[in-house]
Amino acid sequence: MSDTGFWIVQTLNGVQLSLLYFLLSVGLTVIFGLMHFVNLAHGALYALGAYVSVTVSAVLGYWGGFLLAPVAVAVVGIGLYLLLIRRLRHADHMNQVLVTFGLIFVFTDLFRIGWGDIDLGLEPPTLFSGQSTVFGVVYPTYRLFVIALGLVIMAALALVLTRTQIGAMIRAGVDNEDMAACLGIDVDRVFFGVFCMGCALAGLAGVVAAPVFSVTPAMGDSVLIPALIVVVIGGLGSLRGAVVGSFLVGFIQTFGAVIAPQLAAMITYALLAAVLILRPAGLFPARS
Amino acid sequence: MLDVRHLNKRFGSLAVTQDVNLSVARGERRLILGPNGAGKTTLFNLLVGELASDSGEIHLDGERVDRLGVDARARLGLARSYQKNNLFDALSVAENLALAVTAARGLSSNPWRDTHRDASVQEDVERVAAQVGLEARLHHTVSDTAYGERRQLEVGMALASGPKLLMMDEPTSGVGPAMIDGFRQLLQSLPTDLTILIVEHDMDFALDLADRITVLNYGEVVFEGTPSEARESALVREIYLGADDA
Amino acid sequence: MFHQTALKSVTLVILLLGLGAYVQTGGYYGRELVIEACILAMLALSVDVVAGYGGMISMCHGALLGAAAYAFAAMTALLGWPPSLSFVIAIVASTLLATAIGAVSSRTQGIFFIMATLAFGQMVYVMIFDAPMLGGDDGMAGVKRLNLDLVGINFKKSAPFAFACIALLALSYGLAALMLRSGFGRTLSGVKANEDRLRALGVRVWWVKARAFGFSGLLAGIAGVMAAQHTQFVSPELLLWTLSGEALVVVILGGLGTLVGPLVGAIALVFVKHEISSVTHYWHLFIGIALILTVLAGGRGLYGQFEYVVTRARRRRAKDHA
**C288 → closest Cβ in A93, A97, A105:** A105
A-chain residues near C63 (CB < 8 A): none
DSSP code string of chain A: --HHHHHHHHHHHHHHHHHHHHHHHHHHHHHHHHH----TTHHHHHHHHHHHHHHHHHHHHHHHHHHHHHHHHHHHHHHHIIIIIHHHTTS-HHHHHHHHHHHHHHHHHHHHHHH-SS-B--PPPGGG-SEEEETTEEEEHHHHHHHHHHHHHHHHHHHHHHHSHHHHHHHHHHH-HHHHHHTT--HHHHHHHHHHHHHHHHHHHHHHHTTTS-B-TTHHHHHHHHHHHHHHHH-TT-HHHHHHHHHHHHHHHHHHHHH-HHHHHHHHHHHHHHHHHH-TT-SS-S--
Of all residues in chain C, the percent with pLDDT exceeding 90 is 77
The predicted model gives B238-244 an average pLDDT of: 59
Q: Is the pLDDT of residue A1 over 60?
A: no
The domain spans of chain C are 6-239
**Chain-wide mean pLDDT for chain B?**
89
Q: What whole-number distance in Å separates Cα of residue B190 and Cα of residue B196? A: 10
On chain B, the residues whose CB falls within 8 A of the CB of C181 are 114, 116
Determine which of C114, C126, C287 to mutate to test the interface with A (most A C-beta atoms within 10 Å): C126
Lowest mean pLDDT among A148-162, B139-153, B191-205, C229-243: B191-205
Going along chain A from its start, the domains and CATH numbers come out as: 4-278 (1.10.3470)
Q: Is B244 a residue whose pLDDT tops 50?
A: no
Confidence band for A287, pLDDT divided at 50, 70 and 90: low
Alpha-carbon separation of residue B19 from B8, B9, B22, B238 (angstroms): 5, 9, 10, 22
Counting Cα atoms < 13 Å in the Cβ hemisphere of B172 gives 21
CB contact (8 A) between residue C122 and residue A95 = no
Using an 8 Å CB-CB cutoff, list chain C residues near A97: 57, 111, 114
Provide the β-strand partners of residue C141: C233
Mean pLDDT in residue range B29-49: 90
Instruction: Kindly report, residue by residue over A230-271, the tens digit of the pLDDT.
Output: 998 998 888 899 999 999 999 999 998 888 877 888 888 889
Q: What residues of chain B lie within 8 A of the CB of C197, using their CB? A: 86-88, 157
> Which pLDDT score is estimated for A184?
77
Q: What is the mean pLDDT of residues C87-110?
A: 95
pLDDT tens per residue, range A199-230: 999 999 999 999 998 899 989 988 998 999 99
CA of B13, closest CA in chain C: separation in Å? 27
How does residue C48 score in pLDDT terms, banded at 50, 70 and 90? very high
pLDDT at residue number A288: 55
A67-71, C63-67, C201-205, C283-287: range with lowest mean pLDDT: C283-287
CB contact under 8 A, A228 and C292: no
Per-chain mean pLDDT for chain C: 93
Average pLDDT score over residue span C65-74: 97
**DSSP assignment of B114-179, as one string?**
BTTT-HHHHHHHHHHHHHTT-GGGTTSBGGGS-HHHHHHHHHHHHHHT--SEEEEE-TTTT--HHH
- Chains touching A (at least 3 CB pairs under 8 A) are C
Report whether pLDDT(A2) > 70.
Answer: no
Give me the pLDDT at residue B246, please. 36
Q: Looking at CA atoms only, how far is residue A131 from chain C in angstroms?
A: 34
Residues in C closer than 8 angstroms to A102, CB to CB, are 249, 287-292, 295
Q: Are C282 and A109 an interchain contact pair (Cβ–Cβ within 8 Å)?
A: yes
Give the pLDDT score at B245.
42
**Angstrom distances, CA of residue B226 to CA of B33, B210, B223, B231:** 12, 8, 10, 9
Which residue in the set C115, C126, C285 is minimally distant from A276, CB to CB?
C115
Q: Do C205 and B102 touch (CB under 8 A)?
A: no
- Reported pTM: 0.91
Chain centroid offset of residue B176 CA: 19
Mean pLDDT calculated for residue range A10-30: 92
Contact C115 A97 (CB under 8 A): no
Q: Is the pLDDT of residue C106 over 50?
A: yes
What chain C residue is nearest to B113 in terms of C-alpha separation? C182
Q: What is the pLDDT of residue B87?
A: 94
Chains A and C form CB pairs within 8 A to the count of 108
Higher pLDDT, B143 or B179: B143
Alpha-carbon gap: B22 to the closest alpha carbon of chain C (Å): 22
Does the distance separating the beta carbons of C130 and A269 come in below 8 Å? no
Partner-chain contact C202 B161, CB within 8 Å: yes
Task: List the single residue in C with minimal CA-CA distance to A265.
Answer: C126
Give the list of residues 6+ apart from residue A184 with CB closer than 8 angstroms, or none: none
Over residues C143-158, the pLDDT tens digits come to: 999 888 888 888 888 9
Q: Is the model's pLDDT at B241 over the cut of 60?
A: no
Q: What is the spatial distance between Cα A263 and Cα C263, in angstroms, rounded to a whole number?
A: 38
What pLDDT is stored for residue C137 in this prediction? Answer: 85
Side-chain-facing half-sphere of C51: CA atoms under 13 Å: 32
How many residues are recorded in chain C? 322
Tens digit of pLDDT for each residue in B47-105?
999 999 999 999 999 999 999 999 999 999 999 999 888 999 999 999 999 999 999 99
**Per-residue pLDDT tens over the stretch C127-142:** 998 888 898 888 999 8
ipTM: 0.89
Contacts of C111 in chain A (CB under 8 A): 38, 93, 97
Three-state secondary-structure class, residue B112: coil
In terms of pLDDT, which residue wins out, C190 or A285? C190
Higher pLDDT, B14 or C309: C309
User: Which chain B residues contact residue C189 at CB under 8 A?
Assistant: 91
Cβ <8 Å between B69 and C199 = yes
Nearest to C186 by CA among B113, A256, A268: B113
Q: What is d(CA B93, CA A273) in angstroms, rounded to the nearest whole number?
A: 39
Cα distance between residue B167 and residue A5, in whole Å:
70
The identity of residue A110, as a single letter, is L
What residue of C is the nearest CA neighbor of B76?
A: C202
Q: Choose the mutation target among A101, A266, A278 for the interface with C, i.e. most C CBs under 10 Å.
A: A101
